[in-house]
Amino acid sequence: MTLVTTPNLTDADGFYAALLAAHKGRTEAESHALNAQLVLILANHIGDEAVLREALELAKA
Amino acid sequence: MPYDYRPYAYVPPPGLTAPEPRHKVVIVGAGPIGLAMALELANHGIPSVVADDNNVVSVGSRAICWSKRSLEILDRLGVAQRAVEKGVTWKVGRTFHREAEVFNFDLLPEDGHQMPAFVNLQQYYVEEYLIERAAAEPLIDLRFRNKVVSVSQGGDHAVAEIETPDGPYRLEAEYLIACDGARSSIRGMMGLDFDGELFEERFLIADIEMQGDFPSERWFWFEPTFHPGQSALLHKQPDNIYRIDLQLGWDADPEVEKTPERVIPRIEKVVGHGDFRLDWVSVYTFQCRRLRRFVHDRVIFVGDSAHVVSPFGARGGNGGLQDVDALGWRLAALLQGRAGTKVLDDFNAERVHGTDENILNSTRATRFMTPDDGVERLFRDQVLALAAKAPFARGMVNSGRLSKPCVYPLGNAPDDAGLPEVSRPGAVAPDAPLGNGWLLPSLAGKVTLLALGCAAPTVPGTTPLAPEVTDTLRARYLGSAERALYLIRPDQVVAARWADPAAADVAGEIAKLWRQA
């Protein structure tokens, strides 16, 4: 498997809104904590180390 | 009762009155690694002189967690039974975040092994047992209060200048093995330095004697209420001694923190009362570093003199014993003319590999336990938070990954993909019950051809072993295969294996083992 970089969410706007809603009312530190947990949860769900490496590279680029 | 430190006798060495003949091996340092090295060489028929600047065993418990592999090695040296009988056997570790248990591990979930996963035993006991064995071994010349003050090398030997209470003398040896610890003076004399990482963190280490009912487990806390914001570790030792490690932070003043006025209130908070006696206190920092090479012509570094790791994972003393394990049979064969000098390159490559694995694991654990401010701390704290609500995160909680022997990268060693992974070339042969005893002791100290489900061919330089195939042997050595032939090194490491014994070039593999050109 390789990292999906083309549109993959049926409702991208909906997810974006849900992401912002999850952060609403949080301090910056609390938001960082939430993001960190989200990264860990999603990474575990993906599981594929090659995909995760690609994702890390894309984010760092 | 506190340990009774009895000084060992200094005997004026013969070199004070007349030059000594060149020795086979001089070992510098009579700690657990130097003593084990001498006994291992003696097992292979090689005499050695062991020189130590001191005359008592380790002050303080220091290395306390002896791994299954170390016990198997100590068994060959004749002290494992005493260590197991005296020590506290354990295999379960529990990790807590604040009050809640977030992770636990069982290091030996299966039966059919002679040795337990871990035994906790103060280093001074292990040294005492090894000294007794060494003193009874005619091939070992143990010299206390013999301080090496300089080292030099000739083309085919090393020279040590030694100071004693009666003055100086000189020792020559074909090889000098530096087992003189993390602050190795030999390393300093040779101008060698460690590469690697130094952590800016301090831990208080305290041994206390108390009547307690803590189970025989390793307990680790992140941010416990009794020591807010830091981490803590509890280990049980024999004689009602408990080891407590407390993270102090980099700003702590080690001299102040070692005083009873500071230590006792901290310990009272951990154990919930003041009914204990302080046995030993120290403050340590840690590093994960190593020498680039362990073999420097006629001087060989073994144990902490070659590499140091943080203590979380018990990879210091145990790693050192694995160095001894990888060196003894090779150096003996080299000195007896049975092996080529390249066996020392093999030793170097294998133990650099093992050390890097230890350093990697220790570095990761240390980083998790003592994260830098900022994003390291953020992720560490969120892994702990997640561990309370999602199982996957529990495995990411890292309070130390405990010492296991590495699998040596044997590259082109004959192997068969159908055989079990656990006994692949490079791995320590897995133990199993054998008759009324165990498999591993019967593999020690010689090259063995272990034949399962077939007859062992007769090959010069090997000892055949063809036991009846039990369920355990089948599971660990055959899997679904009907037969297999294993070539096992004197350090009980699998060198090669074949599912088709008829196709085995055993003699070719043995030549590789001994580096016979």
Residue boundaries of the structural domains of chain A? 12-60
Taking CB atoms and an 8 Å limit, are B383 and A41 in contact across chains? no
Q: Where are the CATH 3.40.30.120 domain residues in chain B? A: 421-514
Name the H helices within B284-390.
317-335, 342-369, 375-387
For position B517, what pLDDT does the model report? 67
For position B259, what pLDDT does the model report? 95
Which residue, among B184, B119, B423, B175, has the nearest Cα to B300 in the 3D structure? B175
| SS3 at position B21 | coil
Whether A36 contacts chain B with CB within 8 A = yes
Whether B393 contacts chain A with CB within 8 A = yes
- State yes or no: pLDDT of A34 exceeds 80: yes
The owner of tokens 């009602």 is: B240
The owner of tokens 């992140």 is: B222
8 A C-beta contact, residue B492 and residue B465: no
Rg from Cα positions in chain B: 24
Residue B445 in tokens: 């100290």
Taking CB atoms and an 8 Å limit, are A33 and B393 in contact across chains? no
DSSP, residue by residue, A6-33: S---TTHHHHHHHHHHHHTT--HHHHHH
8 A C-beta contact, residue B58 and residue B209: no
Shortest CA gap B314–chain A (Å): 28
Whether A41 contacts chain B with CB within 8 A = yes
Enumerate the residues of chain A whose CB falls inside 8 A of the CB of residue B378. Answer: 32-33, 36
Shortest CA gap A34–chain B (Å): 8
Shortest CA gap B389–chain A (Å): 11
Q: Identity (one letter) of the amino acid at B467?
A: P
Other C-beta atoms closer than 10 Å to the C-beta of B375 total 11
Mutation site, A40, A45, A60, interface B, largest B CB count within 10 A: A40
Q: Could you tell me whether strands B437-438 and B433-434 are parallel, antiparallel, or unpaired per DSSP bridges?
A: antiparallel
DSSP class of residue B238? T
Shortest CA gap B385–chain A (Å): 8
Each residue's pLDDT expressed in tens, for chain B with a length of 517 residues = 789 999 999 999 999 999 999 999 999 999 999 999 999 999 999 999 999 999 999 999 999 999 999 999 999 999 999 999 999 999 999 999 998 999 999 998 899 999 999 999 999 999 999 999 999 999 999 999 999 999 999 999 999 999 999 999 999 999 999 999 999 999 999 999 999 988 889 999 999 999 988 899 999 999 999 999 999 999 999 999 999 999 999 999 999 999 999 999 999 999 999 999 999 999 999 899 999 999 999 999 999 999 999 988 999 999 999 999 999 999 999 999 999 999 999 999 999 999 999 999 999 999 999 999 999 999 999 999 999 899 999 999 999 999 999 999 998 899 999 999 999 999 999 999 999 999 999 999 999 999 999 999 999 999 999 999 999 999 999 999 999 999 999 999 999 999 999 888 999 999 999 998 6
Report the C-alpha gap between A36 and B425 in whole angstroms. Answer: 40
Shortest CA gap A42–chain B (Å): 11
Whether B507 contacts chain A with CB within 8 A = no
- Rounded alpha-carbon distances, angstroms, from residue B129 to B134, B235, B442: 9, 22, 23
Whether A17 contacts chain B with CB within 8 A = no
The owner of tokens 């009874």 is: B136
DSSP class of residue B459? -
**What's the farthest any 2 CA atoms get from each other in chain A?**
37
**Domain B421-514 - what CATH class?**
alpha beta
Which residue, among B42, B29, B110, B51, has the nearest Cα to B76 in the 3D structure? B42
Whether B378 contacts chain A with CB within 8 A = yes
Reading across the β-sheet that carries B277-290, which strands appear in turn? B100-106, B92-97, B218-222, B231-237, B241-247, B195-209, B277-290, B307-308
The owner of tokens 């154990």 is: B271
The H-or-E segment that residue B200 falls in is: strand B195-209
Q: Shortest CB distance from B378 goes to which of A32, A41, A44?
A: A32
Enumerate the residues of chain A whose CB falls inside 8 A of the CB of residue B391. Answer: none
Closest residue on chain A to B379 (Cα):
A36
Whether B391 contacts chain A with CB within 8 A = no
Taking CB atoms and an 8 Å limit, are A33 and B381 in contact across chains? yes
For position B516, what pLDDT does the model report? 84
Report the C-alpha gap between B81 and B233 in whole angstroms. Answer: 27
Report the C-alpha gap between B101 and B513 in whole angstroms. Answer: 47
Report the C-alpha gap between B62 and B280 in whole angstroms. Answer: 10
Q: Count how many pairs of residues, chain A against chain B, have C-beta atoms within 8 Å.
A: 22
Shortest CA gap A51–chain B (Å): 18
8 A C-beta contact, residue B237 and residue B120: yes
Closest residue on chain B to A44 (Cα):
B392
Residues belonging to chain A: 61
Whether B371 contacts chain A with CB within 8 A = no
Name the H helices within B13-97.
32-43, 68-76, 80-86
Mutation site, A37, A39, A45, interface B, largest B CB count within 10 A: A37
8 A C-beta contact, residue B98 and residue B225: yes
Residues belonging to chain B: 517
Name the H helices within B191-302.
254-257, 260-271
Enumerate the residues of chain B whose CB falls inside 8 A of the CB of residue A44. Answer: 390, 392-393
Q: Where are the CATH 3.50.50.60 domain residues in chain B? A: 14-88+120-194+290-360
* Cβ partners under 8 Å of residue B330, min gap 6: B339, B343, B344, B346, B347
| SS3 at position B356 | helix
Shortest CA gap A27–chain B (Å): 14
Report the C-alpha gap between B365 and B281 in whole angstroms. Answer: 23
Whether B382 contacts chain A with CB within 8 A = yes
- Rounded alpha-carbon distances, angstroms, from residue B101 to B260, B388, B507: 30, 8, 53
8 A C-beta contact, residue B410 and residue B403: no
Q: Could you tell me whether strands B299-301 and B167-178 are parallel, antiparallel, or unpaired per DSSP bridges?
A: parallel
Report the C-alpha gap between B27 and B49 in whole angstroms. Answer: 6
Side-chain half-sphere of B405: how many Cα atoms within 13 Å?
28
Enumerate the residues of chain A whose CB falls inside 8 A of the CB of residue B393. Answer: 40, 44
> 3.10.250.10, 3.40.50.300, 3.10.20.30, 3.50.50.60: which CATH number matches B14-88+120-194+290-360?
3.50.50.60
